[in-house]
Amino acid sequence: MFTSIFAAVFLQGCSEEQTSSSQETSLQAIEPCSEDSWLTAWCGYKNAEDLVATPDGRFLLATGFGGLPDSYINEMMIIDLSTMDKEPVNVLLESNSWGDPSCTRTSTDFSTHGMDLIERADGAKMVAVTNHLPKETIEFFELIQTDTSWNLVWRGCVESPVLEEGRRQPMFNDVALTADGGFYATEMYNAKTPFDELLDAGAAGKDSGQVWFWSSEEGFSALQGTSGGFPNGIVITPDESTLFVNYWFSGKTIKFDLKSAQTLAVHTGGRADNLTLSNGSLWAAKHDMSLTDFFEKCPPETTNCFLPFSIHKFDSDLNELKTWSFESSTFGFATVATPVGENVWLGTAHGDRIASFKISPQ
């Protein structure tokens, strides 16, 4: 904000020629900060954990992951794919019309994690994010197009329920929206569980959470048959009949039928993070490392985690259509793969950059 104010004051004293030159410079593409034979990275981010393309395909929305178990405030960003220019998303606070009326917010400070975007039945473009501060919530926004970009208008929130006489509260990871404004969310673990116990559960391959459904009429309900080790990325098919869910501890991706409450297909490989559904194909980012590798090689004080990862493209039955495996000092620990045109865009929960690679390189 201060940079923008300074620039505005400075330009008032510029000649028309200088102003024109400045505008031309601002339209020039930002150069990558690192490249290798496959990956191209742009720096200046802080844990862009999840990426979603805007409806026009010209921008990416990026969440700002604030860490676990002790989260901090971080900014959501919007990225112009024509120039790679980025800035914090402009968020406007309005009344709570889409969420639980008891959930309130007085600031635009967030610690966001997973994200989804859908066109609601009423035509509004709805964005939801999982958020860890100041409370554990799902936050709702309307995505509004401007002359040059997109804004978010806050439309409400839902607070994670406190259950079992205060002994349990779902810590949400990702969210999948329905056209009527409801959602499915992955509970990665119980927020009341000490973090070292969670890691022990991960090492032992134990279940730590499940999927939850929320509607404005009924509130929260647990989705039976979805328990697993650290439920992570989640997407829903356009007809809202099927969920795909990732489980980070086990590396599983499942296809889950909502009518029968049965798992119809399973894929295992790597520690499965976020999911993206694009043009009928499912994209998964999976980490090719152990828990020990992660904690030894990517401690919190490091800026970037360059651990290997793989991107999987599946059909609707989780058959692998294509797999890309990466081990690079340009970009690592990818948490999401979002295809836009000929590129796949990658975010990370531990790094100062986003990256891309060509789907069909020469």
Q: What is the pLDDT along the chain (362 residues), one digit of tens a residue?
A: 333 332 333 233 333 344 444 344 446 899 999 999 999 999 999 999 999 999 999 999 999 999 999 999 999 999 999 999 999 999 999 999 999 999 999 999 999 999 999 999 999 999 999 999 999 999 999 999 999 999 999 999 999 999 999 999 999 999 999 999 999 999 999 999 999 999 999 988 899 999 999 999 999 999 999 999 999 999 999 999 999 999 999 999 999 999 999 999 999 999 999 999 999 999 999 999 998 999 999 999 999 999 999 999 999 999 999 999 999 999 999 999 999 999 999 999 999 999 999 997 54
Quote the tokens at residue 148: 């040059």
Of 120, 117, 143, 145, the residue nearest 129 (C-alpha): 117
Please provide residue 318's backbone torsions phi and psi, each rounded to the nearest 5 degrees: 65, 25
Of 226, 249, 248, the residue nearest 114 (C-alpha): 248
| pLDDT at 360 (0 to 100) | 77
| pLDDT at 27 (0 to 100) | 64
Please provide residue 316's backbone torsions phi and psi, each rounded to the nearest 5 degrees: -70, -10
| pLDDT at 78 (0 to 100) | 98
The alpha carbon dihedral of 209, 239, 271, 269 has a sign of positive
Peptide bond into 134 cis (omega under 30): yes
The residue length of the chain stands at 362
Q: What is the pTM of this model?
A: 0.91
- Say if residue 293 is exposed, middle or buried (CB neighbours under 10 Å; 0-12, 13-18, 19+): middle
Domain boundaries, the chain: 48-159
Spatial contact of 203 and 291, defined as CB atoms under 8 Å apart: yes
Spatial contact of 263 and 271, defined as CB atoms under 8 Å apart: no
Whose tokens are 């992570």? That residue is: 232
Distance CA 289, CA 210 (A): 23
